Homo-oligomer: A and B are copies of this chain.
Amino acid sequence: MAPSVGIKDVARAAGVSVGTVSNVINRPETVATETRARVQSVIDRLGYVRSESARQLRAGRSRIMGLLVLDMGNPFFVDVARGAERAARAAGLGVMVCNSAQSPGEEAEYLSLFAEQRVRGVLLTPADATGRNIAAFRRHGIPFVLVDRVAEGTTECSVSVDDVAGGALAVRHLVDAGHRSLAYVSGPPGLNQVRDRRTGALDALAEAGLGPDALRELPTERLDVAAGRDAGARLLGLPDADRPTAVFCANDLLALGVLQAMYAAGVNVPDDLAIVGYDDIEFAAAAAVPLTSVRQPAVTMGALAAELLLEETGAQGAPTAHEHRRVVLQPELVVRGSSLPAR
């Protein structure tokens, strides 16, 4: 347990004032070469590390950015984090990644943790549909950017992907392949993404002259693999005549679950059932029947969100003029084996 060495210890050992040591660290050009070298060598010898808390206390704000995601078990969010981290570090900031696990309670806790840390800003994928947490957080005056969700009004920035377009892409592809009876494994109703993707799906059906009856909706409790298996079982339980020939899943985890259920039951994918997922996580391509999926530019989203935040808080210190923006990215369909038209 090294008795932590502070700037004063360095100053004393180098025979200079604390101000000079500080200058060596932060504005080396203002210090005479010789002095600088001497101080630097003392710093190295003593193993001095400056205290972020003291620094922050003086500066009034920290050099970390908070990132609060819905589910760290979902590779999609891992990619978002990767993108955000890259952008933040380019600006010399660290990222503190937290997982609300879709629970408004956890979300609230982490937001106040961020507030206590006087975090520079927050990237947030909201878990609380009521927006109460967000409203409470706004009071702190800490800027934030919504990720994977469109901001209402112009109160803050957001980066999202056009979910309606994504849903349409998926279903148009299936309809083009000849499918007329589809299912939508949707996840928890009430999530915006889930709703928008359905809207897009229905649009695509309408284009083809099909009504909403062509899309059987299968909601699930959660957005994970187990829920997908469950939905697969429900599909298998349908009488043959009634069973859809294609499924669109609100996310790849669900799709993988459905795929697994089909495999276990000996149903051929894609011949007996075509499957399209959403997100295009790495494991989608790696599944033994590679999954057709709607790709979201997750890394880009994270990076873009971080950059918007940096723009707002002023990367270098002085906040620049900033107008809140809502960036909407376009998804892209990646066709793989799970939906290739039956020969």
- Residues of A bordering B, CB below 8 Å: 1-2, 4, 47, 49-54, 56-57, 60, 62, 72-73, 75, 78, 81-82, 85, 94, 96-99, 112-113, 115-118, 139-141, 225, 256-257, 259-260, 263, 269, 282-283, 285-290
Residue numbers in B under 8 Å from A81 (CB-CB): 72
Q: List 12 A-B contacts (CB under 8 A).
A: A4-B60, A47-B140, A49-B112, A51-B57, A51-B116, A52-B117, A73-B78, A73-B82, A256-B283, A257-B286, A260-B285, A287-B287
Q: Which 7 A-B pairs have the closest CB atoms?
A: A2-B141, A288-B288, A53-B56, A53-B53, A52-B116, A53-B57, A263-B288
Q: Which of B60, B72, B99, B225 contacts A286 (CB 8 A)?
A: B225
Residue numbers in B under 8 Å from A256 (CB-CB): 283, 286
Q: What is the total number of copies of this protein in its complex?
A: 2
Distance (whole angstroms) from the CB of A54 to the closest CB of chain B: 5
**Residues A140 and B60 in contact in the complex (CB < 8 Å), given A75-B73, A96-B96, A257-B286:** no
Given A49-B116, A53-B117, A256-B286, 16 extra CB contacts under 8 A: A2-B139, A4-B60, A4-B141, A47-B140, A49-B115, A51-B116, A52-B117, A53-B54, A73-B282, A78-B78, A94-B96, A225-B285, A259-B286, A260-B290, A283-B283, A283-B286
Contact B75 A82 (CB under 8 A): no
The CB with the most chain B CB atoms within 10 A, among A52, A118, A139, is that of A52
The CB with the most chain B CB atoms within 10 A, among A56, A112, A259, is that of A56
**Residues A50 and B116 in contact in the complex (CB < 8 Å), given A81-B72, A263-B289:** yes
User: How long is the Cα–Cα vector from A285 to B261 in the complex, in angstroms?
Assistant: 11
User: How long is the Cα–Cα vector from A112 to B48 in the complex, in angstroms?
Assistant: 11
Residue numbers in B under 8 Å from A99 (CB-CB): 82, 85
Residue numbers in B under 8 Å from A97 (CB-CB): 97
Residue numbers in B under 8 Å from A140 (CB-CB): 2, 47, 49
